[in-house]
Structure 1
Amino acid sequence: MAKGRAMYCVQCEQSNKGGCAAKVGSCGKSATVADLQDVLLRLMQGVSVYADRAARVGGYDRRVNAFTPHAWFTTLTNVNFDDNRFVALIAEALRMRNSARDLATRMGADLTDLPEPATWQPGTTASELAAAAPFAAIQRFMDRDGPSIVGLRNLILYGLKGTAAYSEHARVLGTEEQAVSAEFHRISAFLASDPTDMDALLREALALGALNLKVMELLDAANTGRFGHPEVTMVRMTPKAGKALLVSGHDMGDLETILLQTEGTGVNVYTHGELLPANAYPRLKRFPHLAGNYGGAWQDQQKDFAAFPGAIVMTSNCLINPNLKGYADRLFTAGPVGWNGIAHVSDHDFSPAITRALALPGFLENAVERTIPIGFARNTVMGVADTLLGMIRKGDVRNLFLIGGCDGARPGRNYFHDLAVHTPQDSLILTLGCGKFRFNGEDLGTINGVPRVLDVGQCNDAYSAIRIATAVADALGCGVNDLPLHYAISWFEQKATAVLLTMLHLGLRRIHLGPTLPQFLTPDVLNVLIEKFDIRPTGDAQQDLEAMLQAA
Structure 2
Amino acid sequence: MFCFQCQETAKNTGCTIKGVCGKPEETANLQDLLLFVLRGMAVYGEKLKEMGKADHSNDDFVLQSLFTTITNAAWDDERFVARIEEALSRRDKLRQTFLSAYKEKYGSDFAGELPDAAIWSEGSSSFVEKAKSVGVLSTVNDDVRSLREMLVIGLKGIAAYAEHASVLGYRKPEIDEFMFEALASTTKDLSVDEMIALVMKAGETAVTTMALLDEANTSTYGAPEISEVNIDVGTNPGILISGHDLKDMEELLKQTEGSGVDVYTHGEMLPANYYPAFKKYPHFVGNYGGSWWRQVSEFESFNGPILLTTNCLVPLRKDSTYLDRLYTTGIVSYPGAKHVADRPAGRAKDFSALIAQAKSCASPTELETGKIVGGFAHNQVLALADKVVDAVKSGAIKRFVVMAGCDGRQKSRGYYTEVAENLPKDTVILTAGCAKYRYNKLNLGDIGGIPRILDAGQCNDSYSLAVIALKLKEVFGLSDINELPISYDIAWYEQKAVAVLLALLALGVKGLRLGPTLPGFLSPAVAKVLVEKFDIKPIGTVQDDIAAMMAGA
1:436 aligns with 2:436: yes
1:77 aligns with 2:71: yes
Deviations 1:402-449 (A, max 9, x none): 002011101210111111111111111110100000000001101111
- Cα distance, 1:323 vs structure 2: 4.6
Structure 1 contact 90–124 (Cα < 8 Å) conserved:
no
For residues 156 and 354 of structure 2, the distance between their equivalents in structure 1, rounded to whole angstroms, comes to 29
Structure 1 gaps of 5+ residues are 1-6
- Cα distance, 1:526 vs structure 2: 1.2
Structure 1 contact 59–103 (Cα < 8 Å) conserved:
no
Q: Choose from 53, 59, 64 the match for 2:47.
A: 53
- Cα distance, 1:43 vs structure 2: 0.7
Deviations 1:145-182 (A, max 9, x none): 2x222111111111111111111111111111222211
Q: What residue in structure 1 maps to residue 162 of structure 2?
A: 167
Q: Choose from 279, 283, 299 the match for 2:277.
A: 283
- Cα distance, 1:114 vs structure 2: 2.9
- Cα distance, 1:204 vs structure 2: 0.8
- Cα distance, 1:367 vs structure 2: 8.2
- Which aligned pairs between 1:369-518 and structure 2 lie closer than 5 A? 369-478=369-478, 479-518=480-519
For residues 89 and 374 of structure 1, the distance between their equivalents in structure 2, rounded to whole angstroms, comes to 38
- Which aligned pairs between 1:298-317 and structure 2 lie closer than 5 A? 298-317=292-311
- Which aligned pairs between 1:228-239 and structure 2 lie closer than 5 A? 228-239=222-233
Q: What residue in structure 2 maps to residue 63 of structure 1?
A: 57
Q: What residue in structure 2 maps to residue 4 of structure 1?
A: none
For residues 11 and 323 of structure 1, the distance between their equivalents in structure 2, rounded to whole angstroms, comes to 23
Question: Which amino acid is 1:159 matched to?
Answer: G
Question: Which amino acid is 1:149 matched to?
Answer: V
- Cα distance, 1:488 vs structure 2: 0.6
Q: 1:184 to 1:342 in 2, by over 3 A?
A: same
1:93 aligns with 2:87: yes
Q: 1:368 to 1:507 in 2, by over 3 A?
A: closer
Larger deviation, residues 292-301 vs 111-120: 111-120
Which SS does the other structure have where 1:359 is aligned?
A: coil
Structure 1 contact 512–538 (Cα < 8 Å) conserved:
yes
Q: 1:412 to 1:363 in 2, by over 3 A?
A: closer
- Cα distance, 1:519 vs structure 2: 1.3
Structure 1 contact 398–427 (Cα < 8 Å) conserved:
yes
Question: Which amino acid is 1:491 matched to?
Answer: W
For residues 368 and 203 of structure 2, the distance between their equivalents in structure 1, rounded to whole angstroms, comes to 44
Q: What residue in structure 2 maps to residue 3 of structure 1?
A: none
Larger deviation, residues 334-343 vs 515-524: 515-524
Q: What residue in structure 2 maps to residue 242 of structure 1?
A: 236
1:179 aligns with 2:180: no
Deviations 1:223-256 (A, max 9, x none): 0111100001101012111010000011111111
- Cα distance, 1:63 vs structure 2: 3.1
Which SS does the other structure have where 2:455 is aligned?
A: strand
- Which aligned pairs between 1:26-175 and structure 2 lie closer than 5 A? 26-105=20-99, 107-108=101-102, 112-121=112-121, 123-125=122-124, 127-142=125-140, 145=141, 147-175=142-170
Question: Which amino acid is 1:429 matched to?
Answer: I
Which SS does the other structure have where 1:498 is aligned?
A: helix
- Cα distance, 1:498 vs structure 2: 1.0
- Cα distance, 1:61 vs structure 2: 3.5
Deviations 1:374-400 (A, max 9, x none): 100011111121111111112111101
Q: What residue in structure 2 maps to residue 205 of structure 1?
A: 199
- Cα distance, 1:103 vs structure 2: 3.9
- Cα distance, 1:104 vs structure 2: 3.5
- Cα distance, 1:98 vs structure 2: 2.6
1:349 aligns with 2:344: no
Which SS does the other structure have where 1:332 is aligned?
A: strand
TM-score, length-scaled by structure 1: 0.94
For residues 529 and 2 of structure 2, the distance between their equivalents in structure 1, rounded to whole angstroms, comes to 25
For residues 218 and 106 of structure 1, the distance between their equivalents in structure 2, rounded to whole angstroms, comes to 35
Deviations 1:258-309 (A, max 9, x none): 1111111111000000010110101111111111000000011111101111
Q: Choose from 207, 212, 222 the match for 1:218.
A: 212
Deviations 1:114-172 (A, max 9, x none): 33322222x342x3101211331110132xx2x22211111111111111111111111
Structure 1: 4+ residue segments shifted above 6 A:
none
Question: Which amino acid is 2:145 matched to?
Answer: V
For residues 334 and 463 of structure 1, the distance between their equivalents in structure 2, rounded to whole angstroms, comes to 26
Structure 2 contact 401–429 (Cα < 8 Å) conserved:
yes
Which SS does the other structure have where 2:430 is aligned?
A: strand
Q: 1:148 to 1:368 in 2, by over 3 A?
A: closer
Deviations 1:509-536 (A, max 9, x none): 1110011222111222211111111000
Q: What residue in structure 2 maps to residue 227 of structure 1?
A: 221
Structure 1 contact 33–81 (Cα < 8 Å) conserved:
yes
Question: Which amino acid is 2:144 matched to?
Answer: I
Which SS does the other structure have where 2:505 is aligned?
A: helix
Larger deviation, residues 341-350 vs 456-465: 341-350
Question: Which amino acid is 1:27 matched to?
Answer: C
- Percent sequence identity over aligned pairs: 41
- Cα distance, 1:44 vs structure 2: 0.6
For residues 378 and 58 of structure 1, the distance between their equivalents in structure 2, rounded to whole angstroms, comes to 39
Q: 1:156 to 1:363 in 2, by over 3 A?
A: closer
Q: What residue in structure 2 maps to residue 321 of structure 1?
A: 315
For residues 50 and 351 of structure 2, the distance between their equivalents in structure 1, rounded to whole angstroms, comes to 41
Structure 1 contact 511–535 (Cα < 8 Å) conserved:
yes
- Cα distance, 1:196 vs structure 2: 5.0
Question: Which amino acid is 1:260 matched to?
Answer: K
Structure 1 contact 134–140 (Cα < 8 Å) conserved:
no
Q: How many residues align?
A: 538
Aligned-CA RMSD value: 1.7
TM-score, length-scaled by structure 2: 0.94
Structure 1 contact 311–330 (Cα < 8 Å) conserved:
yes
Structure 2 contact 301–364 (Cα < 8 Å) conserved:
no
Structure 2 contact 473–481 (Cα < 8 Å) conserved:
yes
For residues 205 and 436 of structure 1, the distance between their equivalents in structure 2, rounded to whole angstroms, comes to 27
Deviations 1:187-240 (A, max 9, x none): 1111122x3522221111001100111111111111011110000110101211
Structure 2 contact 68–331 (Cα < 8 Å) conserved:
yes
Structure 1 contact 60–103 (Cα < 8 Å) conserved:
no
Structure 1 contact 61–103 (Cα < 8 Å) conserved:
no
